[in-house]
Structure 1
Amino acid sequence: MKSKLLLAASLLFTANVAFAEGERVNIGDFSKGSIAGWEVKEFAGKTNYEIKYQGNRNVLTAKSTNGAASALGVRKKIDLTKTPFLNWSWRVDTPLPPLKEATKAGDDYAARVYVIIDGGLFVWKTRALNYVWSSKPDSRGQKWNNPFLPRNARMLSVRDSRNGPGQWLTEKQDVAADFQKLYGFTPRSIDGVAIMTDADNSKGIAAASYGDIYFTAK
């Protein structure tokens, strides 16, 4: 769906927000049992997002059935010159079959975390960088343009199907450096973060779990 990523910017309210500062900037404190401040954006049905207690901690679970696709996002302006590293943990619980993810029919992911530069009224200036758990083998580290919005959304495979279901994995990505690699420029800030588990294009079923999300200086 063409609007799935571009309209995700509407999760980011148009009001100006001061920079979040500190050595660690918390984005999603799911371990505290809350998704306060996060907002759902529905595209094709509704992915079920809820806090559940798993393995001695609270996590955010996401399940897409009947080809559902909705994002969960929060607006928070992050100064990448001070805290450029995005940290999170995740687990795929129900993987999708191998998809041709660079095509419109295969643009689904059991788990993704993405950051957004909001173009505001100039929607065409919105940029999204998607960190995805690919359904294909041997795709870790690969990057490609989103098939619906090649100028506005870029994809980077952080994990692939070799990392089977049920494995908790921890990630750290240099967002400023990744924008340079995928877009050719280094932003000083981003405007928000979103997650999405979706299966609307492949009409499949997908489920994942997400741990806390935060930015750090190093």
Structure 2
Amino acid sequence: MKALHQPMIAAPAWKYLCLTGLTSLLILLWLPVSAQTLAPLVAGASDKPAPPWRVVGLPKTGKLLTRFDIVPLDGAPVLRISADNAYANLVHDLPALTIGAGTTLRWRWRLDEPLPLADLTRKSGDDVPVKVCALFDLPLTQLGLVERNLLRVARAVSHDYLPAATLCYVWDNKLPVGSELPNAFTHRVRYLVLNSGTAQLKQWVMHERNLSADYLRAFGHESDGVVPPLMAILVGADSDTTDGSSLAYASDLVLKLSP
């Protein structure tokens, strides 16, 4: 998986810091007193996700973009995510949300075409057929000197704000369910494998995760046990490293805030 938004310095590193209607695929923010619904992915009869959802690719690389389309499946509109030697994320920015210990992220996804050559343990295999990620505004002061300076340089040339901590839930090809590991290119991205292999291909799988607990397990040692503001949620896929082709679907994405 690549980090969100725009790249970091050398071409490979840039890629991995680029992580940087449909009533079923939207984010719901349940506030302590009232509920606030963010914009749905579909407005009217559009076959594309609606703003503020936006596609973020890899600038100045000439790479194809992962496609995000709204299609009917099993009697309801869902998000189709298809990557043919491509990379992109579908991003929903958030207003620096403070999340409590009970905050959860829930969604369902389905993988129809995996990436047999993907291997998240190696740079040459760093592709994911479907991912859901949460981006956190970890203070730069919590990073080591080298990573801190690299991120400062990247932010200076980026049109988008580059997060210092990105937690990605992934459907991997080989790693066992429950595996946790850093991105092969940058420790600013951590993976948590929720599905693995092909046993559940073409089946909807539901997940609900405690964002606070998962963040602390992945990054807590860097943030003194404090969860920083949540900056964005994204859905994505990439197949450009292994020159592969993948097809997945996602729906019912809900963020439920807790004090």
TM-score by length of structure 2 reads: 0.71
Q: Do the aligned residues in 2 keep the contact of 1:59 with 1:210 (CA within 8 Å)?
A: yes
Structure 2: how far apart are the matches of 1:158 and 1:27? 26
SS in 2 for 1:71: strand
Aligned partner letter, 1:173 = R
Matched, 1:189 2:204: no
- For structure 2, list consecutive stretches of 5 or more residues without a partner in the other structure: 1-11, 21-28, 140-150, 156-161
- For structure 1, list consecutive stretches of 5 or more residues without a partner in the other structure: 10-19
Q: Which residue of 2 aligns with 1:16?
A: none
Matched, 1:160 2:169: no
Change (3 A) 1:197 1:125: closer
RMSD of aligned alpha carbons: 2.6
Alignment partner of 1:22 out of 31, 43, 46: 31
Change (3 A) 1:131 1:28: farther
Deviations 1:69-116 (A, max 9, x none): 111101014331176100111001111115321111111111100010
Structure 1: how far apart are the matches of 2:186 and 2:101? 29
Could you tell me how far 1:8 is from its partner in structure 2? 3.1
Matched, 1:91 2:110: yes
Change (3 A) 1:154 1:82: closer
Structure 1: how far apart are the matches of 2:251 and 2:116? 24
Aligned partner letter, 1:183 = F
Change (3 A) 1:31 1:92: farther
The correspondence of residues 19-58 of structure 1 with structure 2, limited to 5 A, is: 21-22=30-31, 26=37, 29-30=40-41, 34-43=49-58, 44-58=63-77
Q: Which residue of 1 aligns with 2:179?
A: 142
Q: Which residue of 2 aligns with 1:212?
A: 252
Q: Do the aligned residues in 2 keep the contact of 1:109 with 1:198 (CA within 8 Å)?
A: yes
Aligned partner letter, 1:110 = P
Q: Do the aligned residues in 1 keep the contact of 2:137 with 2:165 (CA within 8 Å)?
A: yes
Could you tell me how far 1:188 is from its partner in structure 2? 4.5
Could you tell me how far 1:147 is from its partner in structure 2? 0.6
Matched, 1:131 2:169: yes
Could you tell me how far 1:22 is from its partner in structure 2? 2.3
SS in 1 for 2:203: coil
Q: Do the aligned residues in 2 keep the contact of 1:28 with 1:213 (CA within 8 Å)?
A: no
Change (3 A) 1:89 1:32: farther
Q: Which residue of 2 aligns with 1:177?
A: 213
Structure 1: how far apart are the matches of 2:171 and 2:39? 19
Could you tell me how far 1:52 is from its partner in structure 2? 0.5
Alignment partner of 1:72 out of 90, 98, 120: 90
Matched, 1:59 2:78: yes
SS in 1 for 2:120: coil
Change (3 A) 1:125 1:22: closer
**Structure with the higher fraction of residues in strand conformation:** 1
Q: Which residue of 1 aligns with 2:15?
A: 4
- Count of residues paired in the alignment: 205
Q: Percent identity of the aligned residues?
A: 22
